[in-house]
């Protein structure tokens, strides 16, 4: 592509160990070879920005070609790829300094010059022309750089195979750009795919579509040149100038979705660190929302140049948020992949997370209907933060919405729940389970429902975990209705009837009999103040693990042995009082009844009896006895 002049080029050694650096870069620093294109485009855009800055004080440098551009030229037959810019360019000494020394870029020196100036506003220097440039050798076995500095007549050619030496010398100016730099990559055989126009266009749009310089593509040496990126970045424009349709198009491009954003967040943070944020909450639930390997979908940019979409900008419980962060403060002196360890990124993570939660709070206050839809889609994910993010639990509890035993199909906030507490109610009651209908009709809720006490109905798996984290809301702790004693004695029934006091002596004796009979199956049998209509129910022991959490752990193999539950008996239920009046002569019946009461409670709890065969036999004996008594009474 370029030819040297008659003056012999000089052969020089690199000032750093290029071979070791390339090995590190290929095998450790850069996991995706496509970054070479991003790096070279970054350098080209950098050069255009340098010219724009210096052109302010010396307009002659711009000449008749004031519009910056980057052109990618492909030659599939020759297996070559070239990237040309009309930026500031380099003289031969500058080229030797910038390309002959690893991690020296010209950009660093240029930034020092800007720092010395009084007004550096508007200088947008993207990459560092050093380590990033050498990523080209991941796909090329020979790289040539032809350059002419703005305002100069001379041009120079730098060439290397990246193995330890390079050649540099003057060339015929006709073989170099009129101004700027052309980087030619002689691609390796396995990298020939980078001469395919559609692939290059896809990579550019995904990784460099928002650099502040238009990008053009020529797919064949004799083909027309077409623009593939316009050099504009939506997030750099004032919000007032952006339409809802433009936001929607940007969301669809960033997220790869076809719906519309339910919430758009666009702002610029200033202060210790400066960065722009454009984020969207989707209108619909992604199909892989609960994929355990699913990471966040926030892209990270450095001055409009894509860095990575694998940086954990938001915590996992906000993984449904799509968008980007564009920062000018990230350290890029080694590689863009390693910035995830930067304290600057840590500060950005904190700021963006707090802002997303704040915007959700505003939406919940100003447009409850819109927020309720977001909660319906992503509430189960947001609740993961109650378990994982101690510092933000208060905000997340405020955002939480729940169906309750009294709300029907509506969602209730904890603020609404606490505002409706009954006199002497000291806790926020909840029940966990997999099925909402079964949960709403579970016998453990009867005493609470009879007293008008609202119970949160928690059906997401994460609910069984975050409620164990010792949380409270406005001083009210969370208490399970299926664990420990209900302690409802201080909250009377609306009709004035009392469910407290000692049970009749015969009922007490029957409860003791059941306790003795079931001693190997339950940890305790006691009279219940939470039952109104049902005869029995199962609950966890006061200091035991909640039954629903125990089921989940057992299903995951993390709880091999289930603990024995507590069987609560309703001392005022007709079945219980009738059984309690049976004499010792009906001991066999009473034993069958004790086991059947446990089985009934087990079935009501959504499980099968521990011994289905024994359950069937006892039920058969009981039915047979009832039929014999019935036929005897009618004289059959």
Check whether 352 has a pLDDT greater than 90.
yes
Say if CB 88 and CB 318 are below 8 A apart.
Answer: no
Of 502 and 268, the structure prediction assigns the larger pLDDT to: 268
Burial, 430: exposed, middle or buried (Cβ in 10 Å; 0-12, 13-18, 19+)?
buried
Which residue, chain included where needed, has tokens 């496509």?
34
Check whether 359 has a pLDDT greater than 70.
yes
Domains recognised in the chain with CATH numbers: 10-229 (3.30.565.10), 234-372 (3.30.230.80), 505-538+564-633 (1.20.120.790)
Check whether 481 has a pLDDT greater than 60.
yes
pLDDT of residue 103: 44
Highest mean pLDDT among 106-110, 163-167, 207-211, 492-496: 163-167
Reported as a pLDDT band with limits 50, 70 and 90, residue 120 is very low
Binding residues for ATP: 39, 43, 85, 90, 105-106, 128-133, 181, 336
Check whether 231 has a pLDDT greater than 90.
no
Of 624 and 74, the structure prediction assigns the larger pLDDT to: 74
DSSP string, 585-630: GGHHHHHHHHHHHHHHHHHHTT---S-HHHHHHHHHHHHHHHHHHH
Say if CB 549 and CB 540 are below 8 A apart.
Answer: no
pLDDT of residue 3: 45
Check whether 338 has a pLDDT greater than 70.
no
pLDDT of residue 173: 92
Check whether 118 has a pLDDT greater than 70.
no
Q: Are β-strands 524-527 and 476-480 bridged in parallel, bridged antiparallel, or unpaired?
A: unpaired
Reported as a pLDDT band with limits 50, 70 and 90, residue 567 is very high
Check whether 636 has a pLDDT greater than 60.
no
Check whether 617 has a pLDDT greater than 70.
yes
The mean pLDDT value of the chain amounts to 85
Three-state SS letters, 349-413:
HHHHHHHHHHHHHHHHHHCHHHHHHHHHHHHHHHCHHHHHCHHHHHHHHHHCEEEECCCCCCCEE
Q: Are β-strands 566-569 and 412-413 bridged in parallel, bridged antiparallel, or unpaired?
A: unpaired
pLDDT of residue 232: 81
Give the SS3 label for residue 229.
strand
Reported as a pLDDT band with limits 50, 70 and 90, residue 25 is low
Reported as a pLDDT band with limits 50, 70 and 90, residue 110 is very low
Closest to 223 in 3D by CA, of 200, 257, 240, 249: 200
pLDDT of residue 128: 34
Q: What Cα–Cα distance (Å) separates residue 260 from each residue in 263, 324, 381?
A: 9, 17, 20
Burial, 174: exposed, middle or buried (Cβ in 10 Å; 0-12, 13-18, 19+)?
exposed
Residues 179-229: tens digit of each pLDDT: 999 999 999 999 999 999 999 998 998 778 778 899 999 999 999 999 999
pLDDT of residue 442: 92
pLDDT of residue 292: 61
**How many percent of the chain have pLDDT more than 70?**
85
Reported as a pLDDT band with limits 50, 70 and 90, residue 129 is very low
Check whether 133 has a pLDDT greater than 50.
yes
The pLDDT of 339-344, averaged and rounded, is 76
**pTM score, whole prediction:** 0.74
Say if CB 491 and CB 423 are below 8 A apart.
Answer: yes
Check whether 388 has a pLDDT greater than 70.
yes
Residues 591-608: tens digit of each pLDDT: 999 999 999 999 998 889
Reported as a pLDDT band with limits 50, 70 and 90, residue 66 is confident
Q: For residues 84 and 40, give the distance between their C-alpha atoms in angstroms, rounded to a whole number.
A: 9
Say if CB 326 and CB 274 are below 8 A apart.
Answer: no
Our measurement of the distance from residue 588's CA atom to the centroid of its chain's CA atoms, rounded to an integer in Å, reads 59
> Which has the minimum average pLDDT: 40-54, 217-231, 380-394, 598-612?
40-54
Of 208 and 160, the structure prediction assigns the larger pLDDT to: 160
pLDDT of residue 573: 94
Check whether 345 has a pLDDT greater than 70.
yes
Binding residues: 39, 43, 85, 90, 105-106, 128-133, 181, 336
């Amino acid at each position: 592509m370029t030819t040297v002049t008659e003056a012999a080029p000089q052969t020089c050694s690199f000032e750093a160990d290029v071979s070791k650096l390339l090995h590190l870069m290929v095998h450790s620093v850069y996991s995706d070879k496509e970054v070479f294109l991003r790096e070279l485009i970054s350098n080209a855009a950098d050069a255009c920005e340098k010219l724009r800055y210096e052109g302010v004080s010396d307009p002659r440098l711009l000449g008749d070609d004031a519009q910056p551009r980057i052109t990618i030229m492909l030659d599939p037959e020759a297996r070559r790829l070239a990237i040309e810019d009309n930026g500031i360019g380099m003289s031969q000494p500058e080229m030797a300094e910038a390309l002959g020394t690893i991690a020296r870029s010209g950009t660093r020196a240029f930034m020092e010059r800007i720092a010395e100036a009084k007004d550096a506003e508007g200088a947008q220097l993207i990459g560092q022309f050093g380590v990033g440039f050498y990523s080209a050798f991941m796909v090329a076995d020979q790289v040539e750089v032809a350059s002419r500095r703005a305002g100069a007549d001379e041009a120079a050619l730098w060439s290397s195979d990246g193995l330890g030496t390079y050649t540099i010398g003057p060339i015929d100016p006709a073989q170099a750009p009129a101004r700027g730099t052309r980087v030619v990559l002689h691609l390796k055989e396995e990298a020939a795919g980078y001469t395919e126009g559609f692939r290059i266009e896809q990579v550019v749009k995904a990784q460099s579509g928002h650099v502040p310089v238009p990008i053009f593509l020529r797919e064949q040496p004799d083909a027309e040149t077409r623009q593939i990126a316009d050099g504009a970045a939506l997030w750099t424009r004032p919000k007032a100038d952006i339409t809802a349709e433009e936001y929607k198009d940007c969301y669809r491009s960033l997220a790869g979705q076809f719906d519309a954003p339910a919430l758009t967040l666009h702002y610029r943070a200033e202060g210790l660190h400066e960065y722009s944020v454009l984020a969207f909450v989707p209108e619909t639930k992604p199909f892989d929302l609960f994929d355990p390997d699913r990471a966040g979908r926030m892209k990270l940019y450095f001055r409009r140049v894509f860095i990575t979409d694998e940086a954990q900008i938001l915590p996992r419980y906000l993984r449904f948020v799509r968008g980007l962060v564009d920062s000018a403060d990230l350290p890029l002196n080694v590689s863009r992949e390693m910035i995830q360890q930067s304290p600057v990124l840590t500060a950005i993570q904190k700021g963006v997370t707090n802002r997303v939660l704040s915007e959700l709070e505003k939406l919940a206050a100003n447009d409850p209907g819109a927020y309720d839809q977001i909660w319906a889609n992503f509430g189960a994910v947001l609740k993961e933060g109650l378990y994982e993010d101690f510092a933000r639990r208060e905000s997340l509890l405020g955002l939480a919405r729940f169906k309750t035993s009294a709300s029907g199909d509506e969602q209730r906030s904890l603020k609404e729940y606490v505002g409706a507490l009954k006199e002497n109610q000291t806790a926020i009651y909840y029940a966990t389970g997999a099925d909402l209908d079964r949960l709403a009709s579970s016998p453990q809720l009867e005493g609470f429902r009879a007293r008008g006490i609202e119970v949160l109905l928690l059906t997401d798996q994460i609910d069984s975990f975050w409620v164990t984290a010792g949380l409270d809301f406005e001083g009210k702790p969370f208490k399970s209705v299926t664990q420990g004693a209900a302690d409802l004695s201080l909250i009377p029934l609306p009709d004035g009837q009392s469910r407290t006091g000692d049970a009749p002596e015969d009922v007490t004796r029957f409860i003791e009999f059941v306790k003795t009979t079931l001693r190997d199956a339950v940890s305790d049998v006691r009279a219940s103040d939470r039952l109104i209509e049902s005869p029995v129910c199962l609950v966890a022991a006061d200091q035991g693990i909640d039954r629903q959490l125990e089921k989940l752990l057992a299903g995951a193999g993390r709880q091999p042995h289930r603990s024995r539950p507590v069987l609560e008996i309703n001392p005022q239920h007709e079945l219980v009082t009738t059984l309690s009046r049976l004499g010792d002569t009906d001991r066999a019946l009473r034993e069958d009844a004790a086991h059947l009461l446990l089985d009934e409670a087990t079935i009501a709890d959504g499980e099968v009896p521990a011994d289905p065969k024994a359950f069937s036999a006892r039920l058969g004996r009981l039915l047979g006895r009832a039929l014999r008594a019935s036929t005897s009474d009618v004289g059959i």
